[in-house]
Amino acid sequence: MPLLYNGYKILDNNIRKRLRVWPAKRAASSILNGSNLLKTSPNIGKPMPDKGDRREFFIAFGAGAYVIRNKLEDENTLIIIRIWHSRKNRPRYGDPKGSDL
């Protein structure tokens, strides 16, 4: 029985190993595309609940989204503070056990 990946026949173990990299490349591409969108529209995304100048921008990916937490330093500088996948188990904003960055 042939082994298929997204409709493509997999011929040997080398190809199987290379296919494991595809999801990571797709994730990196999504994050870079979202980051480029922030360059042109830095005020998109949800403001943080502390009423500060930080925002969270969500990029749909798989069963969740990548979250880019960012801050507009001045009109020419956007700082990306943190990037994570929304399905990752991490402390919520305001949790004393975790960082509020």
pLDDT in tens, 57-99: 999 988 889 999 988 888 878 888 888 988 876 656 555 555 5
Contact between residue 70 and residue 57 where contact means Cβ atoms under 8 Å apart: yes
- Global pTM reads 0.67
Mean pLDDT across the stretch 39-44? 88
Which contacts of 44-47 are long-range, i.e. CB under 8 A and separated by 24 or more positions?
45/70
Mean pLDDT across the stretch 9-24? 60
Instruction: Tell me the pLDDT band of 54, cut-offs 50, 70 and 90.
Output: very high
Q: Which two tokens stand for residue 11?
A: 């011929």
d(CA 86, CA 93): 13
Q: What is the mean pLDDT of the chain?
A: 76
